[in-house]
Structure 1
Amino acid sequence: MMRKCLPLFLLAFLALGSTCFAEDMKVGFVYVSPVGDAGYSYAHDQGRLAVEAMDGVTTSFVESVAEGQDSERVIMNMARKGYDVIFATSYGYMDPMLKVSKDFPKVKFLHCSGYKNAENMANYFGRIYQARYLTGMVAGAMTKSNVLGYVAAFPIPEVIRGINAFTLGAQAVNPDVQVRVVWTKTWYDPATEKEAGKSLLDVGCDVIAQHQDSPGPQEAAQERGVYSVGYNTDMSAFAPKSHLTAAIWNWGPFYTEMVQQIKDGTWKSDFYWYGLDKGIVDIAPFGEMVPADVQKTVLDKKAEIAAGTYQVFTGPIKDQSGAEKVAAGTVMADADLLGFNWFVQGVVGTLE
């Protein structure tokens, strides 16, 4: 009799044991810059904290990871340590993550801002160009010189798309405006970013925007007594007399949605590109120097974009040479937006 009962007892014990010692889902994040208290990686880390608050989930991150071989090493290390989900948050992590994903088919990999997928690797970003357009409207309304400056990281489609959206937004309220671009070839280098901002101020720009992680360009603008437009997070604390607004991220809803889907077993690899309608992108509160009528105009346009009744890249749109690239009434397809490799008319700068 005991010999018949023993297997049942063991099964019950093992079942109890598997429940008691079940581990939380492990979710890892890889950042290209320090988390700090503002900027790109800080915005992603706020999203991580939302995931950390979920039941049955633990998270960790590695910051200041260089693109290329360093990122491959960090991503592979996470996979080997049993992470269930790994988010890599910089464009240059794409190929390293794709390579690692092939060796760990049970791990879910999600890459931010690229375009390559696999069965267990998705790609995601936000339509931050929508917020860029709105901040361009503010800059175009506030400039006196009609010359705006843009401190930009690398000449890749993501950055080019943002510059073009910012320019179109500025032109929507001020057709005479031009946008001068300076490349830093870095995502995060406060000193370099600040010097780039100063170089734009030296040629007459009186509003400085940026696609950079630090508030360096904002600080340069405030020191010269002109305006600035931030990026990633509300940077008003770093330049309160200068900061007009910023294009900002809110990653919490997206990250928690993806992790919940993975927990539920409903997740599928895809390209996720959410915008104002999902709350993933937005603009920071306006500085007190922005007039009420300008604020209203911008917020009205924000509502139109969120509702889908206005598309930022609707023709006619011309390139720098004046050639028509998008016909009147035509909306650029996502595939074309993702491959942006030309500047709109009004941008002063080169793609190198």
Structure 2
Amino acid sequence: MKFKELFKSRYPGVVLRGMGMGAADVVPGVSGGTIAFITGIYQELLDSLSRIGPHCITIMREEGLSATWKHINGSFLLSLFLGVLISIFSLARIISGLLEQYPILVWSFFFGLVLASTFPILRNIPRWSLSTAVFLFLGIALAVVVSELRPGDIPATPLTLFLSGALAICAMALPGISGAFILLMIGIYPKVLTAVHELQLSNLLYFAVGAALGLMLFSRLLSWLMHKYVARTLAFLAGILLGSLKIIWPWKLPINGAETVSSKLAPLLANTSPSNFMAQTGENANLGPAIIAALVAAVLVLAVDYFGGGHRGKSYATPQ
């Protein structure tokens, strides 16, 4: 395939979607999978990743590189992950700084984004039943349980980086569960972020290999579920999004006098009301700007869904 063909028609837009996914994945609490879904590429991403495997060697040997590239939807994947990498390496430091300086506004923006993201998912559920509702509540329960986890601290060894990459990428594939948040919970997030900032190539390689393997395996499962049990799977994903709102609530206070941490968004913080936040910290709750930020995010999500993503549900298999 000629290189110039990668950026014909839709691929610049795919790069931009990848940049949105990368920016979201830097934030401990927001999933790149959410961005993939609201921008209309979630199903295609899962299906494309699920085609990668040992059988590709057979296709390459029998039909050639071009056929293999087409089989895995290579131009789409290359464009998407190029955008993810551009975003991670260019925006990681900026987003980290914004989280430190303007936590309430940034959290509010993502709160509105995630909340609004549930509407396209719920709308695409082909039919409701008791089991569909059960899976919705199971998704909410899973996200709430994850939000109650407390950070650990594991060393950054080749094995832990490999396993952390596999775990984080599986979370990233689920709208609502942030891979960065999972990394924060197991205590390796700061080390991965340092590796990105300082270009520690060996550590990044171990993490990337684990992420690649985890994504190939987990995407197969998700793709199968999205085609075989679409209603229940979408309900479960919507539930995860709704439950994850607990993680990204903008106003937080330390839990039971926990030690002060460098980031106001660390998980050793408990949700509180804007008024109690002001009373306890003496800081401005920025309620008005926070509401505006959330509304801007919600309008952005709904606009993207309206103008570019309304066809998503048509690609799913008949629900069972």
TM bucket, shorter chain: under 0.3
**TM-score, normalised relative to structure 1:** 0.23
Higher strand share: 1
Higher helix share: 2
Q: Which has the larger radius of gyration?
A: 1
Larger relative contact order, structure 1 or 2 (CA cutoff 8 Å, min sep 6):
2
**TM-score, normalised relative to structure 2:** 0.25
